[in-house]
Amino acid sequence: MSTWALLGMMLSVMVAGATQRITGIGFALVSAPLLVVLTDPITGVLLTNVLNLSTNIIVLAQTWRQVELKRVLLLAIPALCFVPVGQFVARLLPPATLMVGIGGIILVALAAVRLLRRTTLFSGPGGAIAAGALSGFMNVTAGVGGPAITLYAIGSRWPLRSFVGSMQLYFALVNTGSIIAKGLPHVGTTALVAAIGALVLGVLLGHFAARHIAPERARSAVLVLAMAGATATLVKGLFLSLQ
């Protein structure tokens, strides 16, 4: 990995860690597209899962009192059931096609969150099971499971305070399942250490910034960054498919 690529990865991971601490989600949406562009679809998603798990553990240590365990399990069980399905699809598709799929999935998910802000489609136990299953599939194929859970949070009017804490436990379980299914990413020691360092710094910055930044403003920034990254991923995948 070149120096510029390493710096780009570190900046992406740092910003993603900060947004995760402020809003409860957003790490994968911000970091996954760029990590896929810098490496490849399989490695990028795997690295996202590993770093996201690290973020979940760090933030959970600060927010564990806010966790709603029953609701987390209602989401996590169907999510883990659909991890093998997503793993099969990810291994079946060629890299260029998978890259296009990752970019497309993220863009569609972002549009759904943006356009369905008052939806009650994912509400109640049935909505939780559906959202969890979709989140688990998306997490293992594209590295992003947050949008489906966000739609459930909107439909069920989940209070932000308990949502932030609960999402750390939920994604800790789902990311662990994804890593067990796919294994660890093959990246150099320097890149991995740099990414973890940037992650810790981002979470610390987010911890202090959370007192001064409105969650709605932070979410808007997440959507913009994620859309740019997803578009870049989609374009690169289309370019590779034409070669």
**What pLDDT, in 10s, does the model give residues 183-197?**
888 888 888 889 999
How many C-beta atoms surround the C-beta of residue 108 within 10 A? 13
Q: Which amino acid is at 130?
A: A
**Of the ranges 146-155, 167-176, 180-189, 217-226, which one carries the lowest mean pLDDT score?**
217-226
**What pLDDT, in 10s, does the model give residues 169-188?**
999 999 999 999 888 888 88
**Of the ranges 19-33, 139-153, 214-228, which one carries the lowest mean pLDDT score?**
214-228
Identify the pLDDT of residue 75: 96
Share of the chain above pLDDT 70, in %: 94
From residue 171, alpha-carbon distances to 18, 110, 146, 217 in Å are: 16, 18, 9, 23
Identify the pLDDT of residue 84: 93
Identify the pLDDT of residue 174: 94
CA nearest neighbour of 171 among 89, 83, 68, 52 = 52
**Residue 73 clears pLDDT 90, i.e. is over it:** yes
- Rg of the chain, C-alpha, whole Å: 16
**Residue 36 clears pLDDT 90, i.e. is over it:** no
Q: What mean pLDDT do residues 216-242 have?
A: 78
**Residue 231 clears pLDDT 70, i.e. is over it:** yes
CA nearest neighbour of 197 among 17, 3, 46 = 17
CA nearest neighbour of 151 among 169, 172, 168, 134 = 134
Give residues with Cβ within 8 angstroms of 191, minimum separation 6.
1, 6, 9
Q: With cut-offs at 50, 70 and 90, classify the pLDDT of residue 116.
A: low
**Residue 103 clears pLDDT 70, i.e. is over it:** yes
Identify the pLDDT of residue 119: 63
Positive or negative, the CA dihedral 111, 134, 221, 213 is positive
Q: What is the largest CA-CA distance in the chain?
A: 52
Q: What mean pLDDT do residues 56-68 have?
A: 87
**Of the ranges 6-20, 58-72, 77-91, 212-226, which one carries the lowest mean pLDDT score?**
212-226
